[in-house]
Structure 1
Amino acid sequence: MLQRFFIFCSGADTAILNDCSPGENTKYAGIGATVFFTAVMATIAGSYALFTVFENVFTAIFFGLIWGLLIFNLDRFIVSTIKKRDDFFAEFLQALPRIILALIIAIVISKPLELKIFEKEISQVILEEKNDLTLANKDQLALQFTPSIDLLNSEIIELENQVTTKESEVNALYNTYIAEAEGTAGSQKLGKGPVYQEKRDKHDTELAALKLLKDNNAIKILALEEEISTITTAYETRVAETQPIIDGFDGLMARVTALNKLPWIPSFFIFLLFLAIETSPIIAKLLSPKGAYDLKLEEQESGLKSWVAQQKEQQKTLVATDLEVNNRVYGDIAEEQELYDYKRKIARELMQDQADAFYKRQKSFFAK
């Protein structure tokens, strides 16, 4: 039962194999088993690859089965259409397009399993890429908000410098009137005279102006700091909104790209393994000698070709004979006097009818 199933997988004609030796049946059962297990591997690989896309087990299994059936049908078609010939080079040319197709299939099958085998290494590469993307994203977003923040900070610094400058002026006035009182500068008179009072009043006036400047600038600085805080909050919000996109950067294409950044030798040998599995039915068909099945299949196809060619020749002869008979029949009829008299009578009646019709039309025209 199992052997019959694998023979079905090989695409061989069971009616011909029934008349062949057990060895021929075993050979094609082995080819069919290779086709079947290749489709099983394709189903597993396709399911995993689709799971990384849909992240749903049932959806991945469903489409994975469809993919496995597609690979099974392609492999079965490839094996069943390779015909054994006496010239190996002719057989190879016949199988070359199928080998190229098998190469493509092997790449498609091996890549998802490579993603699973090197999952931890790929995750590490993706994590590093996510960190780089996060930093790059923050820097890029900062370019939109930094100019405004720098402008506001420069305004705050300018306001603080105004206060600092004013404090320096007030301190200088304070030192001036103190030195006047001590007699060490100005009028050089010890005591609090008119000059001292004048300088003291000027200092007090500037001190009041300094206090007013501090109050006003403090209000302005507070407003600017609130504006900076608003811009900073908007920046952090924007970063938080874009971060999920970066966190989701682990799809199938991202993993394939990360896989390509890993050392290529392990992936290459896994690819060679699947290439060997995928091409093994074709290689087995090319290397195996022409057996009883191939001889009987060739005999059956040759007989069918001969019968078709014979039918075409018979049809051509039948058409040519029928044409010749028709020509002779119509030639004999054309020479009969009875047919000539009959057609002459019909032509005369037709001309009379045409003349009568023309006369009636002309008469009705002149009557108007």
Structure 2
Amino acid sequence: MLKRFFIMCSGADANILADSSNGEQNKYAGIGATVFFTALMAFLAASYALYTVFDNYFTAVFFGLVWGLLIFNLDRFIVSTIKKKDSFLDEFLQASPRIILAVIIAVVISKPLELKIFEKEIDQVLLEQKNDLTLANQEQIATQYTPMLEGLDTEIAELKQDISDKETEVNSLYETYIAEAEGRKGTELVGKGPVYKEKREKHDAQLAELVTLKKTNTDKIANLELQKMELALEYEKQVQDSQPIIDNFDGLMARVNALNELPWLPSFFIFLLFLAIETSPIFAKLLSPRGEYDFKIEDVEGEIKTWTAQKADQRKILLATDHTVNDRVYGDIAEEDELYQYKKKIARELMQKQQDAFYKKQTDILQ
């Protein structure tokens, strides 16, 4: 039963092979098995590739099955249509489109399986790429907030500098009136005289301004710090919102690109393996000598071709004979006087009716 199934997969005529030797049957069963397992590998590869796209088992299996059946039907058709010829070059030229197609199919089949075989290595490459993307994303988002944060920091620094400058001025005035009281500067008179009082009042006025400035600037600084916190929270929110996109950066194209980052030699050998599997039915038929099945197929096709040619020749002869007979029949009829007199009578009547109709029409016009 399995042998019959593989013979069916090869596209060979089961009725003709049934009367052939076991060796001939085994050859085409082997070709059919290769076609079947190639389609099976195509189904598995397509299912895995589509699963990475749709992330759904049923969808991936359904479309993978459709792709596998397409490859099976295509392989079966092309293998069954390759006919043995007297020249290997003619056979090779006949199979060359199929070989080119085999290269394309081998790439399509092997690539998803390479993704599965090197899955861990690809995950490592994707992790590094995701980390790079995360850092790049953070830097890109930060560029939107950096000018605003720098502006706020500048304002805070200016407010703090105003307080510092005012404190320096107040401290200088304090030192001045203390030095006046101690007689170290100014009038150099010890005691709290009019000059001391004047300098003390100036210091106290500036001190009051410093207290007011501190309160005002502290409130402003607190407000600016709050704005910085809001910007930081907004920055973190944008980073968190964009992070899922980076985390999902593991689709089919991303994995194929990650695979290209790995050494090419293992992938190349896997491709060669599938290319050998895909082209093996073709080269099996090209390299194998003419067998019993080939001669029987050629005999059946030659018989049908001869029979078709005979029918075409018979139709040509029948048509030529019919033309000859018709020429003779109508030639004999043309010589009969009875037919001549009858046609003459009919022509006379027709001309009379035409003349009467013309006369009637002209009379109506004149009236």
User: 1:161 corresponds to which letter in structure 2?
Assistant: Q
Name the stretch that deviates more: 189-198 or 87-96: 189-198
Paired position in structure 2 for 1:152: 152
TM-score (norm 1): 0.93
- Partner Cα distance (1:57, 1:206) in 2: 79
| Shift of residue 318, structure 1, vs aligned partner | 4.2
Paired position in structure 2 for 1:259: 259
Paired position in structure 1 for 2:353: 349
User: 2:233 corresponds to which letter in structure 1?
Assistant: T
| Shift of residue 319, structure 1, vs aligned partner | 4.3
User: 1:120 corresponds to which letter in structure 2?
Assistant: K
Paired position in structure 1 for 2:108: 108
| Shift of residue 334, structure 1, vs aligned partner | 6.2
- Partner Cα distance (2:144, 2:262) in 1: 36
Q: Could you say what secondary structure the match of 1:185 adopts?
A: coil
Q: Could you say what secondary structure the match of 1:250 adopts?
A: coil
Paired position in structure 1 for 2:340: 337
1:47 aligns with 2:47: yes
1:99 aligns with 2:102: no
The 5-angstrom pairing of residues 73-222 of structure 1 reads 73-222=73-222
- Partner Cα distance (2:259, 2:237) in 1: 33
Name the stretch that deviates more: 345-354 or 234-243: 345-354
- Partner Cα distance (1:354, 1:331) in 2: 36
User: 1:93 corresponds to which letter in structure 2?
Assistant: L
Q: Could you say what secondary structure the match of 2:186 adopts?
A: coil
Name the stretch that deviates more: 76-85 or 225-234: 225-234
Q: Deviations over 1:86-142 (max 9, x none)?
A: 100000000010011111111111111111111100000000000000111111111
| Shift of residue 161, structure 1, vs aligned partner | 1.1
- Partner Cα distance (2:316, 2:103) in 1: 46
Q: Could you say what secondary structure the match of 1:77 adopts?
A: helix
User: What runs of 5+ residues in structure 1 fail to find an aligned partner?
Assistant: none
User: 2:71 corresponds to which letter in structure 1?
Assistant: I
Paired position in structure 2 for 1:59: 59
- Partner Cα distance (1:20, 1:347) in 2: 79
User: What runs of 5+ residues in structure 2 fail to find an aligned partner?
Assistant: none
Q: Could you say what secondary structure the match of 1:44 adopts?
A: helix
Q: For residues 190 and 77 of structure 1, do their structure 2 counterparts lie closer, same or farther at Cα, with a shift above 3 Å needed?
A: same
| Shift of residue 331, structure 1, vs aligned partner | 6.2
Q: Could you say what secondary structure the match of 2:125 adopts?
A: helix
Q: When the two structures are aligned, how many residues end up with a matched partner?
A: 363
Paired position in structure 2 for 1:306: 306
Paired position in structure 1 for 2:11: 11
TM-score (norm 2): 0.93
1:22 aligns with 2:26: no
Q: Deviations over 1:200-254 (max 9, x none)?
A: 1111101110111111111111111112222221111111111110000001111
